[in-house]
Amino acid sequence: MANTILTPSWITLEALRVLKNQLNFTKKVNRQYSKEFGIEGKKIGDTLQVRKPPRYIGRRGPALQVEDITQSSVPVVINQQYGCDINFTSKDRELSIERFSEDIIKPAVATIANMIDSDGTLLYKDIAANVGTPGVTPVALLTYLNAGVALDNASAPMDGKRYVCITPQMQATIVDALKGLFQSSEQIKQQYEKGKMGIAAGFDWYMDQNIQTHLSGVQGGTPLIDGAGQTGSSINVKGFTAAAALRLKKGDLVTFAGSSQVNLQSRNSIGTLQPFTVTADFSSDSAGKGALQISPPLIAAGQMQTVSASPADGASIVVAFTTAQTSPQGLAFHRDAFTFACVDLEVPRGVDMGTRIMDPDLNISMRMVRAYDINQDKYPCRLDVLGGWATLRQELACRISA
């Protein structure tokens, strides 16, 4: 009997449902900005500037001390069109809904889901806070507790929206190490039956096969700060091997002697060096010098202070990774650390069929367009998602090296 309800709308709805089930990392990030794009009569183009909250120093005593309102913003750019194109025959259309989803839809949508999720986990390169030892899979809960400390020091909200995304090996290691320590019978059941941590150490835990592995630069020499009193996102350095080689890669982690981390609200020193992530590939010049691009910016005073003091001339630079080292980079984060924004694609005319559906929970819009090939009795079909990733507040996330 012909399947009379296998319509384009159903196909798109089923594809969106499968996509939703596949997105472990994407489901946990901020998704509220999708609605800002494509508003009828109020189109903003492909970029939305998301304002970050201002920070104030405050005062002690009765004397009025008015502070400037210093606002910054992060661009969310819609710059990726994810898709998968398939062919199905008239015979395929006669399959049951379950068979059609299993045989046709799931493999295609899994491809889209992995591309979206993989791009999201690449945002680890924007994150400076880090715990764990590169090359060593964490076996102690303390590593993950320290990730929570990093979020606490950044004043991340404790509102039940903190998450951990780790590799299959990281999950297997920590579940095995802690399998006898949980009091909740439901948590223990999940560990044994599903190999999942559930909720622990202040985080909701998820395994994600798309967690990225970082490859560090080829280091050389003894890197040092080149000039005292430097601030900002570009720091002059020296002491690298005198050759034009790629010494540090985007996503490498560094600390500067003498620049301690401060609590972002109290601005009191935490007692450990402030970590910085390298935001652009760095190559030393013929003298072993260059300008190193970092995040967060090095700011020693004021509303946006990030460190206790600027490093001295000749202060040592320590790189978290050894030369050309690979290290999986799990993520502990609050929902507002990252965002994925998505917009509606136009449904074209002059085709066999076309439809578009928005998932109300994820704010992900998927379009399906179908044509007909009379020569082969096939239905070329394309599935598309248009969106873009951004790191909103890098201080609300922490990398977990393995």
205-258 tens-digit pLDDT: 999 999 999 999 999 899 999 999 999 999 999 999 987 677 899 999 999 999
How far apart CA 191 and CA 198 sit, in angstroms, is: 8
**Shared-domain flag, residues 38 and 97:** yes
Q: Tell whether 402 is covered by a domain.
A: no
**Shared-domain flag, residues 203 and 245:** no
Q: Tell whether 114 is covered by a domain.
A: yes
In CATH, what number is assigned to the domain containing residue 154? 3.30.2320
**Shared-domain flag, residues 270 and 189:** no
**Shared-domain flag, residues 114 and 151:** no
Total domains present in the chain: 3
Prior bond of 54 cis (ω within 30°):
no
Q: Tell whether 394 is covered by a domain.
A: no
pTM beyond cutoff 0.75: yes
The pLDDT of residue 336: 92
The pLDDT of residue 37: 61
Q: Tell whether 263 is covered by a domain.
A: yes
**Shared-domain flag, residues 318 and 357:** no
Q: Tell whether 62 is covered by a domain.
A: no
Domain finish residue from 324, 351, 367: 324
How far apart CA 179 and CA 201 sit, in angstroms, is: 14
In CATH, what number is assigned to the domain containing residue 234? 2.40.30.290
The pLDDT of residue 137: 96
Bridge partner residues of 366 (DSSP): 357
The pLDDT of residue 6: 56
* Pairing mode, strands 365-370 and 378-391: antiparallel
Comparing C-alpha atoms, which of 148, 137, 111 is closest to residue 333? 148
The pLDDT of residue 5: 44
The pLDDT of residue 192: 46
* Pairing mode, strands 130-131 and 397-401: parallel
The pLDDT of residue 41: 46
Q: Tell whether 397 is covered by a domain.
A: no
Q: Tell whether 313 is covered by a domain.
A: yes
**Shared-domain flag, residues 82 and 131:** no
Domain finish residue from 298, 324, 350: 324
Q: Tell whether 140 is covered by a domain.
A: yes
Q: Which positions of the chain have pLDDT values less than 70?
A: 1-10, 33-45, 52-57, 59-60, 67-71, 93-98, 180-198, 244
Alpha helix segments (H runs only) across 185-235: 185-194
Its domain, for residue 320, covers: 217-324
The pLDDT of residue 99: 72
**Shared-domain flag, residues 155 and 117:** no
The pLDDT of residue 222: 94
**Shared-domain flag, residues 264 and 362:** no
Query: Which helix (H) or strand (E) element contains residue 339?
Result: strand 338-343
**Shared-domain flag, residues 146 and 107:** no
**Shared-domain flag, residues 192 and 221:** no
Comparing C-alpha atoms, which of 136, 189, 142, 138 is closest to residue 166? 138
Domain finish residue from 324, 348, 373: 324
**Shared-domain flag, residues 80 and 169:** no
The pLDDT of residue 246: 79
**Shared-domain flag, residues 26 and 116:** yes
The pLDDT of residue 33: 65
Q: What Cα–Cα distance (Å) separates residue 1 from each residue in 87, 95, 103, 138?
A: 22, 9, 19, 55
The pLDDT of residue 59: 67
